[in-house]
Structure 1
Amino acid sequence: MAIVVPSAHLRVGPSHGANIPRRHGEAYVVGRREVRWTESDRGAACCQFASAYTAINLSLKGEMNSKKSKCTCTLTDDLVVSILSRLPLKSVCRFKCVCKSWASLFSDQYYCTKLPRRPAGLLYQDSNNGSIQIAKLPSGNSEIGTSLSFMPHHENLKLVDCSNGLILFTHGTKSDSPDSSHFIVCNPATQEWIALPDTCPRVNGSDYIAMLAFNPSSSCHFFVFNFQKRRSPHSGVFVITEVEIFSSEDFTWIADDAFETEIMMIPMPHVLLHGVLYLRTVEHSVFAIETPHMYKPWIHRWTFELPGDSCPMNNYIWGCLGESSGILHYMQPNYDGCWLNIWRLESRHQQWSTTHSLSMIDAFGRGALVHGNPFSVDWSADYGMLSFDLEREIVFLHDRVSSKVRSYSIRTGKLCEMGDLPRNSLYYVPYWRKFPVVEEDQYCGSLISMP
């Protein structure tokens, strides 16, 4: 069935939007034609409506600017959401990248409840056989999976990080530089993988902390941050001596060897927003570092304070960073663990404001959640934080009493057991867009040092 939508002559009113067919046999009007609906045509029809939206608006905009059109009607957000809600999940996820106005619908609190959501779960590596597993949310979709059978068999494949549907691995290789780090980034949803160029050989006695940073709402390219660390001969603590940053756009590593700092980073979870990677530190602050840019000869980095309590007792009740609607958020229990507080960073004034206070007393059914000697710093908490997703209204907690991972619903205030999972489990949502095409000459990318 072919559906013809005249560009700049489509007029849709509220009644037409309500008559978009849902059931087999229903009829609807396109232009002046009546089209009989069949089940096999549903996906194709909705896809054509959705793809026509952008072309129609662009046409209307051009004609109105040239004062050659008298048409003043465009598709409303309600109608766009009504169309998108009828598409298959994978198509909806791809259409999120069509334009900024569509992307904003997925983060809008009103519309996001009407649109299909990507399945989600916690990703981890089985300690027995090394396979990658995923524990789905209680309402998770059965289509979610992390089968890596499409990848070549590398030695010692190890899960390192996950970011918005992409997964970072290290692997063994017969490279001539055995002290280098060998990374692979893969997308299980599209069954694609990219082997990154090797990093520089590590200095004796040093180690690295690697992180994958990807935010599809702002760019289709990803970054890998590889922080080199070694023990300081003066203080005895680990210091960061260098950072290498890989950009999938340039397909090369950029090294900043003037990085030395004694900041103790907590790598998981981290957030990439507007070209800046945000990490939490042991000193109850946020460490921010820009992604490399070809027009900047340096990598800007800075720190700023976190909200909430920073007393020694809270070393056992870690908070974590998150992102929602393009805004940095922070979640942390209060000093006695009875409440989870959530703040958002107001970009205009660079100040934190409270958005949620969640009762853990009601969730766990007991009032004493932190234990210890009041005259010492030897404290322990009944639970620890893993990650959170405000768009899905979910928080992941590790119950140290039962050694189980639990999901907490912000909407209902209820806990749900997810199983006996590792504490370093990573939050995973599939991403169905393919990797950007990489030119052949980019595979020979070299390492560039920053001045």
Structure 2
Amino acid sequence: MEEPPGKTNPVASLTDDILVKILSFLPVRYVCRFKCVSRSWRNLISHPDYRKKLPQTLVGFFYESICGERFPMRANHFTNVTGKGMPFIFPSVSFLPVSCRDLVLLDCCDGLLLCRCFQPGPLVGGELPPFHYAVCNPATEKWVMLPDGSWASDDARTARLCFDRTGSSHFHVIEYVVDENENVTWVDIYSSKTGSWIPVENGWGDDVMLCYRRRSVFLNGFLHAVTFADAIVAVDMEGKTSRTIPTPKENECGFIHRAQDHLCLINVVDDDIFKLSIWTLDDHATIEWTLKHTVSTMRLFGGKRIQIDFDYQVIAMHPEGNMIFFVYGWENTLMAYIMDRREVHVIRNLGHDSSYWDPYLPYVPLFSEAPIDGQ
């Protein structure tokens, strides 16, 4: 569209640096829309030097496949959230000093990836071989290997990563240690600031059993985890404060995610196992949950009445809070449900070899090198 005579476009007089500075203050969804303004705007927003200065959004998922007809049997993969094109990140994270067959992806938080790196060698007595944790940034290929913790070889443990790119430049790793009944006895907390682990006694009671197949959420300085009771447990990064957050009455062992800086809970409705409810915790002080949305599986899966954890699982909520991702069926089909439009979109089939129970780790790239000094 041509400008009227004597009129000039004030935006045209702005330098690229000034435009990027302005765009950096906008929500991700608006920045993505501005790529459609013109070819020059698309090139500006996509340019590698400017992209790291702009807000980032979900680009895809890490996941794993298991196939007995290949070696190694386990393999890591990455799928773009669009389901198209080359993977945004090469999933083998080959920059780490360990073979991909000795590497397990455990958790992803705000652009950083937590891995378990096993020492090569035969298994002894069915126990896990010795290992180290590594935290890396796939976007910059920087990494750090964590020192050994205080655990015994037969301890059962689940590790989670805690990092907030808008807060401290340091990250934490938390290990839940459980007894023979799978109740949490204490937690070990690693701080990248001190470079050491500290053991912390369980502050929630003697009968806290976590849903280990559920992802945790790091928010407001606390790591939140779902239990098999009607509660979410949270601990701060110094282990000084442990909280128990009751969930809505009709929810038990649901899925928690972070969206728009709120804790979100997704689960089936008590009197209808074929319906999902989506809640947000709007006030941590008063523990006020707000019901945001409900949807039936008949809408999600073309009229089929299927059950969560049997036929499908929820794997993530979009950081903007407008979309839920789940995998479904024998082919492990990755799908997205857009809540405000009540639309379901098939992204792609991940294949029947993809592991249904192992985590699908949502990845939001982080181009800053601040959290990790590298090796």
TM-score (norm: length of structure 2): 0.76
- What SS does structure 2 have at the residue aligned with 1:153? coil
Task: Provide the C-alpha distance between the structure 1 equivalents of 2:31 and 2:322, rounded to a whole number of angstroms.
Answer: 23
1:11-410 superposed matches below 5 A: 19-21=10-12, 28=13, 45-51=15-21, 86=41, 87-89=44-46, 90=48, 94-95=52-53, 118=57, 120-128=59-67, 129=72, 130-138=74-82, 142=86, 144-147=88-91, 148-154=93-99, 156-173=102-119, 181-202=131-152, 205-231=154-180, 237-257=181-201, 261-267=206-212, 268-292=214-238, 299-307=240-248, 309-310=250-251, 319-335=254-270, 336-347=272-283, 349-366=286-303, 368-370=305-307, 381-391=310-320, 393-400=322-329, 403-410=332-339
Q: What is the letter of the counterpart of residue 313 of structure 2? A: G
Say whether the 8 Å CA contact 1:180–1:200 is kept in structure 2. Answer: no
Say whether the 8 Å CA contact 1:163–1:213 is kept in structure 2. Answer: yes
> 1:304/1:120 Cα in 2 relative to 1: closer, same or farther (>3 Å)?
same
Aligned to 2:4: none
1:416-435 superposed matches below 5 A: 416-419=346-349, 420=351, 421-423=354-356, 424=358, 425-435=360-370
1:209 positional shift: 0.7
1:132 positional shift: 2.4
Task: Provide the C-alpha distance between the structure 2 equivalents of 1:411 and 1:141, rounded to a whole number of angstroms.
Answer: 27
1:264 positional shift: 0.9
> 1:91/1:262 Cα in 2 relative to 1: closer, same or farther (>3 Å)?
farther
> 1:415/1:308 Cα in 2 relative to 1: closer, same or farther (>3 Å)?
farther
Say whether the 8 Å CA contact 1:119–1:144 is kept in structure 2. Answer: no
- What SS does structure 2 have at the residue aligned with 1:431? coil
Task: Provide the C-alpha distance between the structure 2 equivalents of 1:436 and 1:121, rounded to a whole number of angstroms.
Answer: 21
- What SS does structure 1 have at the residue aligned with 2:147? coil
Q: What is the letter of the counterpart of residue 365 of structure 1? A: G
Q: Which has the larger radius of gyration?
A: 1
> 1:406/1:303 Cα in 2 relative to 1: closer, same or farther (>3 Å)?
same
Task: Provide the C-alpha distance between the structure 2 equivalents of 1:308 and 1:398, rounded to a whole number of angstroms.
Answer: 26
- What SS does structure 2 have at the residue aligned with 1:47? helix
Task: Provide the C-alpha distance between the structure 1 equivalents of 2:310 and 2:66, rounded to a whole number of angstroms.
Answer: 25
1:408 positional shift: 2.4
Q: Deviations over 1:127-156 (max 9, x none)?
A: 343442112223667461135232223572
Task: Provide the C-alpha distance between the structure 2 equivalents of 1:339 and 1:287, rounded to a whole number of angstroms.
Answer: 25
1:181 positional shift: 4.9
Say whether the 8 Å CA contact 1:180–1:202 is kept in structure 2. Answer: no
Larger RCO (CA under 8 A, 6+ residues apart): 2
Say whether the 8 Å CA contact 1:221–1:248 is kept in structure 2. Answer: yes
Q: What is the letter of the counterpart of residue 343 of structure 1? A: W
Aligned to 1:65: none
Say whether the 8 Å CA contact 1:180–1:201 is kept in structure 2. Answer: no
Task: Provide the C-alpha distance between the structure 1 equivalents of 2:269 and 2:211, rounded to a whole number of angstroms.
Answer: 19
Task: Provide the C-alpha distance between the structure 1 equivalents of 2:26 and 2:135, rounded to a whole number of angstroms.
Answer: 36
Mean Cα deviation higher: 281-290 or 150-159: 150-159
Q: What is the letter of the counterpart of residue 418 of structure 1? A: R
> 1:171/1:414 Cα in 2 relative to 1: closer, same or farther (>3 Å)?
same
Task: Provide the C-alpha distance between the structure 2 equivalents of 1:380 and 1:291, rounded to a whole number of angstroms.
Answer: 31
Task: Provide the C-alpha distance between the structure 2 equivalents of 1:395 and 1:332, rounded to a whole number of angstroms.
Answer: 12
Task: Provide the C-alpha distance between the structure 2 equivalents of 1:127 and 1:380, rounded to a whole number of angstroms.
Answer: 19
Task: Provide the C-alpha distance between the structure 2 equivalents of 1:139 and 1:417, rounded to a whole number of angstroms.
Answer: 5
Higher percent of residues as helix:
1
1:429 positional shift: 2.2
Q: What is the letter of the counterpart of residue 404 of structure 1? A: T
Say whether the 8 Å CA contact 1:161–1:211 is kept in structure 2. Answer: yes
Say whether the 8 Å CA contact 2:335–2:344 is kept in structure 1. Answer: no
1:382 positional shift: 3.4
Query: What's the C-alpha RMSD, in Å, of the aligned pairs?
Result: 3.6
Say whether the 8 Å CA contact 2:293–2:339 is kept in structure 1. Answer: no
Q: What is the letter of the counterpart of residue 355 of structure 2? A: P
TM-score (norm: length of structure 1): 0.64
